[in-house]
């Protein structure tokens, strides 16, 4: 008697009863994640890596956060919780930082800003609704909207506009525009709207009945005038923020939303069904994140030193025309004279030097093939070392491209 083959069904074509083909929506990957995996493999093989590809500070959270986390782990609670104390502290943050009063009833805690984005997109917009985004911009806006059946509408905000969203572009967009996501400072460029510019964008949204969604995740990381919150000019804005950037807690998966009162119940229902609650220990630890402004300022001062050094040195290496970032911790670099394939460029750079950068195709599917993003939220020593390694590699690359 022939022994049945336990794996025979797996080889059957779909039409003969095999597993169905995936029916969901394909979206692009994070190509920075691909560079990250290459970096990890090289690091495991003993290579020294300078991680400038992911948008996260390499310095850990403030010491007070560590201490509060240890207390939280020991004392609990350890279940599903939504800390009223943290919501109260966030409300106080808006009063102290922006002179804006926000009732705690309008503040929702989220499992990172990403959860806030998804819940906002599903709560405020229906399938087929059109939501505007600046290009270049954070890829998860575009990809999440597409995966959820909403329509991302990209607005060209290139170097000729200093990567800033102009209210005239919003006003002149053809067709309906149900929502607009504004990030100021923005990723990948660090471009920031002034309070007046943000108010003008908000007014353009009001005039055409467009819901404003303001991603303020990089607030507090700036190199000039402080960032303005959309709540100061548009009380009905949805504001998204996180503890990942200024407070250096990206792996703790904790953020928040500020929403109009009449949206809170629906947003809360979407959040708890999709994500339950944020990590309980993270919520308790985050209470301490606000309490050491000197530590937060010192980290931003370190980014400022990195920014100044890079802006001084990179033009001499053939990377000129950089728009100095107003905030965040990125440089968006035009490498079009060296490559027409930013992903291959980043792979080769990493293999040759150990420097990991993010390819521009993550942020701009049209023109990103000629750009890379560099995160300078690393140590001052790592930036100096990166410049040492970049100089000869870029010289050789330029000579090769000139042949």
pLDDT, tens digit, 9 for 90 and up, residues 199-217: 999 999 999 999 999 999 9
φ/ψ of residue 221, rounded to 5: -110, 95
Letter string b/e over residues 148-169, b meaning 16 or more CB atoms within 10 A of that residue's CB: eebbbbbbebeeeeebbbbbeb
**Same-domain pairing of 96 and 45:** no
Asked, for residue 142, whether it belongs to a domain, the answer is yes
Distance CA 304, CA 377 (A): 9
Q: How far apart are CA 144 and CA 134, in angstroms?
A: 15
What pLDDT score does 16 carry? 58
Query: Are 128 and 77 contained in the same domain?
Result: yes
Choose one of 290, 321, 354: the last residue of a domain: 290
> Would you say residue 23 lies in a domain?
no
Domain of residue 311 covers 31-55+293-402
Please check whether residues 109 and 234 belong to one and the same domain. Answer: yes
Indicate whether 218 pLDDT > 60: yes
**Residues 6+ positions from 194 with CB-CB distance below 8 Å:** 225, 228
Looking at the structure, tell me whether residues 192 and 105 fall in a common domain: yes
Q: Is 1 exposed, middle or buried (0-12, 13-18, 19+ CB in 10 A)?
A: exposed
For residue 334, give the nearest of 307, 359, 308, 354 by alpha carbon: 359
Which pLDDT tens digit goes with each residue over 319-336?
988 999 999 999 999 999
Same domain, 258 and 315: no
- Is the per-residue pLDDT at 75 higher than 50? yes
Same domain for 280 and 164:
yes
Residue 113 lies in a domain: yes
Could you give the CA distance from residue 140 to residue 153 in angstroms, rounded to a whole number?
13
The answer to whether residue 8 is domain-embedded is no
**CA distances for 67 relative to 71, 159, 165, angstroms:** 6, 44, 41
Strand (E) or helix (H) holding 394: helix 380-402
Residue 325's CATH number = 3.40.640.10
203 lies in the same domain as 282: yes
Tens of pLDDT, residues 144-183: 999 999 999 999 999 999 999 999 999 999 999 999 999 9
Residue 2 belongs to a domain: no
353/49 Cα distance (integer angstroms):
8
Tell me: the pLDDT tens digits for 84-104?
999 999 999 999 999 999 999
Question: Is 6 within a domain?
Answer: no
Q: Count up the domains in the chain and report the number.
A: 2
The answer to whether residues 186 and 234 belong to one domain is yes
CA distance 212 to 199: 11
| Burial status of residue 351 (CB atoms within 10 A of its CB: 0-12, 13-18, 19 or more) | exposed
Claim to verify: residue 126 and residue 207 sit in the same structural domain: yes
Q: State the pLDDT at residue 2.
A: 43
Task: Specify the pLDDT at position 99.
Answer: 97
């Amino acid at each position: 008697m022939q022994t049945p083959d336990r794996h025979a069904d797996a080889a059957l074509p779909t039409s003969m009863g095999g597993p169905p083909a995936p029916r969901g929506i394909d979206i692009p990957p994070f190509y920075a994640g691909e560079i990250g995996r290459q970096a990890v493999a090289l690091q495991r093989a003993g290579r020294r890596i300078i991680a400038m590809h992911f948008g996260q500070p390499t310095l850990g959270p403030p010491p007070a956060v560590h201490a509060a986390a240890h207390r939280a782990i020991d004392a609990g609670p350890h279940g599903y919780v939504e800390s009223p104390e943290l919501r109260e502290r966030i409300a106080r943050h808006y009063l102290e930082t922006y002179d804006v009063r926000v009732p705690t009833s309008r503040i929702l805690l989220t499992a990172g800003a990403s959860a806030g984005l998804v819940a906002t997109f599903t709560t405020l917009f229906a399938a087929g609704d059109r939501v505007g985004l600046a290009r270049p911009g954070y890829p998860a806006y575009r990809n999440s909207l597409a995966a959820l059946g909403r329509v991302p509408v990209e607005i060209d905000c290139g170097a000729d506009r200093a990567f800033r969203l102009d209210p005239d572009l919003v006003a002149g967009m053809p067709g309906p525009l149900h929502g607009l996501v504004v990030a100021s400072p923005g990723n990948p460029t660090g471009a920031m709207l002034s309070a007046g510019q943000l108010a003008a964008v908000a007014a353009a949204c009001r005039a055409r009945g467009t819901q404003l969604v303001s991603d303020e995740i990089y607030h507090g990381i700036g190199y000039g005038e402080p960032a303005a919150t959309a709540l100061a000019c548009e009380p009905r804005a949805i504001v998204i923020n996180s503890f990942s950037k200024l407070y250096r807690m990206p792996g703790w998966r904790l953020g928040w939303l500020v929403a109009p009162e009449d949206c809170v119940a629906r947003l809360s229902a979407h959040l708890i069904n999709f994500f339950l609650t944020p990590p309980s220990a993270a919520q308790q630890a985050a209470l301490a994140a606000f309490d050491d402004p000197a530590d937060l300022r010192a980290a931003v001062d370190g980014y400022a030193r990195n920014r100044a050094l890079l802006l001084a040195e990179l033009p001499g290496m053939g990377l000129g025309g950089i728009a100095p970032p107003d905030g965040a911790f990125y440089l968006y670099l035009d490498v079009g004279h060296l490559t027409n394939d930013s992903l291959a460029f980043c792979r080769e750079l990493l293999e040759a030097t150990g420097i990991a950068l993010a390819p521009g195709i993550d942020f701009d599917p049209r023109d990103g093939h000629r750009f890379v993003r560099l995160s300078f939220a690393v140590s001052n020593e790592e930036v100096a070392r990166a410049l040492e390694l970049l100089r000869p590699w870029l010289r050789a690359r330029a000579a090769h491209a000139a042949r």
